[in-house]
Amino acid sequence: MKFLYKITNKLTAAILALLGTLGLWWGMGYPPFGVVVAATEEALIQQISSLEANYLAKNGAYFQMLPTHYIVPSATTTPDALARKPTDRKESWNDIIIIPDVPFSVQVHQSQNGYQIMFTQKRNGFDWSRAYGIGPDFQTWDWRREQFPGDIL
């Protein structure tokens, strides 16, 4: 009986600690971690937009994310830069959302007035991009070619 009492106490403490941690996590403005989205642009736009709204409500600012890939992909590729974060930021992709293997790189720009989700992809040696902007600071455009052959910019 005493043993059961001890176990129950420890379990309760563990559950409370876990809930406390989750509460702290949530209170700091982090969205529920482990959100998985489909490898489509529309699903990513929808999910990231939802997370931005949540983050803004908790932090009074939008979050920024650096590109998911170190090299712009031309085919479906596992993101290799998910742990990277801006030097003045505390979150990386890994803290916000689980990005699946995708055929493009994704990044998020932010300002006080909004945010922009940017997709980039290499097609036959050209850089292509698509952007979804919210707020007056950012534009939205469908896939367009960004570079001319030979340009390295």
Partner 1 sequence: MKKLILITILLVGFVALMAWLTDTDAATNAFSADFERTNSEYMRVADNASLSILADITIMARVNAESFAAANVSMIAAKQIGAGASRSYGFMINDASLCSPTDSQCLAFWFTPDGGGASEERLDSPQRFTEGLWYHVAVTWTAATSVARFYVNGAFIGSQTGVGTAIFDGTQDFRIAANRTDNFNGAWDGKQDDVRVYPRVLSQEEIQFAYRNGECTGDEPNIVGCWKLNDLSFASSTDESPSLNTLSNINTVPASDDVGLGARFIRVIR
List residues binding partner 1 (CB under 8 A): 61, 64, 66, 72, 86-89, 107, 109-113, 116, 118, 120, 127, 129, 131, 136-137, 139, 144-148, 151-153
Which is nearer to partner 1, 99 or 106 (by Cβ)? 106
Which is nearer to partner 1, 6 or 145 (by Cβ)? 145
Closest CA to 38 of 106, 88, 92, 95: 106
Cα 95 from Cα 103, distance rounded (Å): 22
Least gap, CB of 151 to partner 1 (angstroms): 6
Least gap, CB of 124 to partner 1 (angstroms): 15
Least gap, CB of 57 to partner 1 (angstroms): 17
Cβ atoms of 100 and 82 within 8 Å: the answer is no
DSSP labels, 52-117: HHHHHHHHSS---B--S-SS--SS-B--S-TT---TT-S--HHHH-B---BSSEEEEEEETTEEEE
Least gap, CB of 42 to partner 1 (angstroms): 19
Which is nearer to partner 1, 34 or 150 (by Cβ)? 150
Pairing label, strands 105-111, 114-123: antiparallel
Which is nearer to partner 1, 9 or 113 (by Cβ)? 113
